[in-house]
């Protein structure tokens, strides 16, 4: 049996190569490599796709989170509510602003922040809630927005895994003050290198973010803010415009593969929950099983590669363990049992059926 890889960035990008080449050649011919038409065009296209008004292209998803927080100029030591179960970048963005992350446990069914546990963590220092739409499923935004409004908190959405996912018909990245995106190559909308963006309905905010990404200047050599260099690369923006035209097709394909798992996997495995209010885009298709490591070995013996998102929760990471106090048993239970199955754009239904057969023989 041929190996079924977890991800393969060559195969994932193969369908777009000709159009990438054209876009690249066009950039070479024009000789415009930083903040040109391709960045502006992609920003408009991506904002329109998501259904939000304004977009600023940035150098990475982490920078998008960092700059969203920086924009508000919260006093040092202010607290930001964030899920305990996330990729570490979300929490690093808070530290990079001199702010304090306050971790809230996820709902064990959805793996996303549990809205019922947010209010008990709000203090007089809390200024924002940073939600993460993990694995491509939106958070339960209605109660979260209600809590934010009641407590006068800003809402930032980490949409690095949720390009195109919707909640009650509305796309992620349009609920909060900012939607932060990553275009890291493995994401549902991935570039051929690093990239990121912030979306907002607030025109002024995006104007300021565009200054912050460019040393704090709107006008060359006149600096209004203490900015950084975090510009979306012009050539990557061209590639992203190409891929954006197929984002719905990519998401549909991943949803179709996820459905094969949902219908085929035996009941020993805890499958992702589905609900009519949520249209999930399966950046990651994660199941849980108490003998996750044995299961992973069994799959590998059968030439099927998997991943773990993530093996170590943020509060157990060496970089953070002295800063993040407290116990996060739900987060740990997820980290100990979760396994991510192949669900890339290049995988075929046949391959996923093979994975299902090998899984069910465990
Ligand atoms: C990928 C990811 C990020 C970081 O994005 P980069 O572009 O790699 O900086 C942040 N948050 C989450 C949830 C992610 O999955």
Structure tokens, 268: 């020993």
Structure tokens, 35: 């903040």
Give the length of the chain: 362
d(CA 37, CA 241): 11
Helix axes 61-72, 88-95, angle to 10 degrees: 40
Q: Which residues contact 228 (CB under 8 A, 6 or more apart)?
A: 63, 67, 212, 213, 215
d(CA 301, CA 310): 22
Q: Which listed residue (137, 154, 171, 187) is catalytic?
A: 187
What 3-state DSSP class applies to 92? helix
Q: Is 89 in the pocket of ligand 1 (CB under 6 A)?
A: yes
Residue with tokens 């979760």: 338
60 CB-side CA count, 13 A = 10
The answer to whether domain 247-360 has CATH 3.90.1150.10 is yes
Residue 321 predicted with pLDDT over 90: no
Going from N- to C-terminal start, the domains of the chain cover 10-244, 247-360
pLDDT in tens, 39-49: 999 999 999 99
CA–chain centroid gap for 212, Å, is: 22
What 3-state DSSP class applies to 223? strand
**pTM for this prediction:** 0.98
Q: Ligand 1, from 161, 162, 172, 173: best to mutate by most atoms within 8 Å of Cβ?
A: 161
Tell me, in angstroms, the distance from the centre of ligand 1 to residue 136's CA.
12
50 CB-side CA count, 13 A = 27
Q: Is 86 in the pocket of ligand 1 (CB under 6 A)?
A: yes
Contact 82, 90 (CB under 8 A): yes
Tell me, in angstroms, the distance from the centre of ligand 1 to residue 350's CA.
30
Residue 218 predicted with pLDDT over 90: no
pLDDT in tens, 94-122: 999 999 999 999 999 999 999 999 999 99
Beta bridge partners of 197: 57, 181
Mean predicted confidence (pLDDT) in 317-339:
95
Tell me, in angstroms, the distance from the centre of ligand 1 to residue 358's CA.
31
Helix axes 247-264, 234-244, angle to 10 degrees: 60
What 3-state DSSP class applies to 129? strand
Q: Which residues contact 134 (CB under 8 A, 6 or more apart)?
A: 83, 85, 86, 106, 111, 112, 161, 284
Q: Is 60 in the pocket of ligand 1 (CB under 6 A)?
A: yes
Q: Ligand 1, from 62, 69, 213: best to mutate by most atoms within 8 Å of Cβ?
A: 62
Q: Among residues of the chain, what percentage have pLDDT more than 90?
A: 98
Q: Is 168 annotated in the active site?
A: no
| Longest CA–CA separation in the chain, Å | 65
d(CA 206, CA 224): 15
Q: Is 85 in the pocket of ligand 1 (CB under 6 A)?
A: no
Q: Is 161 in the pocket of ligand 1 (CB under 6 A)?
A: yes
At 131, which helix (H) or strand (E)?
strand 126-132
What pLDDT, on the 0 to 100 scale, is given for residue 220? 87
Q: Is 160 in the pocket of ligand 1 (CB under 6 A)?
A: yes
Phi-psi group of 168: left, alpha or beta (phi > 0 → left; psi -120 to 50 → alpha; rest → beta): left
pLDDT in tens, 50-100: 999 999 999 999 999 999 999 999 999 999 999 999 999 999 999 999 999
Tell me, in angstroms, the distance from the centre of ligand 1 to residue 277's CA.
25
Q: Which class does domain 10-244 fall in?
A: alpha beta
Render the burial of 57-74: b for 16+ CB within 10 Å, e for the rest.
bbbbbbbbbbbbbbbbeb
Contact 213, 63 (CB under 8 A): yes
Tell me, in angstroms, the distance from the centre of ligand 1 to residue 58's CA.
13
Tell me, in angstroms, the distance from the centre of ligand 1 to residue 162's CA.
11
Mean predicted confidence (pLDDT) in 165-173:
98
Q: Ligand 1, from 69, 87, 133: best to mutate by most atoms within 8 Å of Cβ?
A: 87
Q: Is 182 in the pocket of ligand 1 (CB under 6 A)?
A: yes
Contact 156, 180 (CB under 8 A): yes
Average pLDDT taken over every residue of the chain: 97
Q: Is residue 339 exposed (0-12), middle (13-18) or buried (19+ Cβ within 10 Å)?
A: buried
d(CA 16, CA 286): 27
What 3-state DSSP class applies to 199? strand
């Amino acid at each position: 049996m041929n190996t079924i890889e977890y991800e393969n960035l060559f195969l994932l990008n193969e369908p777009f190569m000709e159009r990438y080449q054209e876009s690249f050649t066009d950039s070479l011919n024009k000789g415009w490599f930083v903040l040109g038409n391709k960045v502006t065009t992609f920003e408009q296209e991506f904002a329109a796709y998501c259904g939000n008004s304004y977009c600023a292209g940035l150098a990475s998803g982490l920078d998008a989170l960092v700059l969203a927080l920086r924009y508000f100029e919260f006093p040092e030591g202010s607290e930001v509510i964030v899920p305990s179960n996330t990729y570490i970048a979300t929490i690093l963005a808070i530290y990079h602003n001199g702010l304090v992350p306050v971790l809230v446990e996820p709902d064990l069914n959805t793996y996303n922040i549990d809205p019922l546990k947010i209010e008990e963590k709000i203090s007089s220092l809390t200024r924002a809630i940073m939600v993460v739409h993990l694995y491509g499923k939106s958070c339960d935004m209605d109660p979260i927005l209600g809590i934010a409004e009641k407590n006068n908190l800003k809402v930032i959405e980490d949409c690095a895994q949720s390009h195109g996912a919707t909640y009650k018909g509305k796309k992620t990245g349009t609920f909060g003050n900012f939607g932060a995106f990553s275009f890291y190559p493995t994401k549902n909308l991935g570039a051929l290198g690093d990239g990121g963006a912030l979306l907002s309905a607030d025109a002024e905010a995006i104007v300021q973010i565009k200054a912050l990404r460019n040393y704090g200047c709107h006008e060359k050599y006149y600096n209004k803010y203490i900015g950084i260099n975090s510009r979306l690369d012009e050539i990557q923006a061209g590639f992203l415009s190409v891929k954006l035209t197929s984002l719905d097709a990519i998401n549909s394909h991943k949803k179709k593969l996820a459905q094969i798992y949902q219908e085929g996997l035996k009941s020993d495995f805890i499958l992702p929950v589905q609900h009519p209010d949520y249209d999930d885009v399966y950046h990651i298709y994660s199941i849980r099983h108490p003998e996750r490591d044995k299961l992973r070995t069994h799959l590998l013996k059968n030439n099927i590669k998997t991943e773990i998102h993530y093996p170590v929760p943020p509060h157990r990471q060496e970089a953070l363990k002295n800063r993040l106090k407290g116990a996060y048993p739900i987060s740990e239970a997820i980290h100990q049992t979760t396994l991510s199955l192949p669900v890339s754009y290049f995988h075929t239904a046949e391959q996923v059926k093979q994975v299902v057969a090998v899984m069910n023989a465990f």
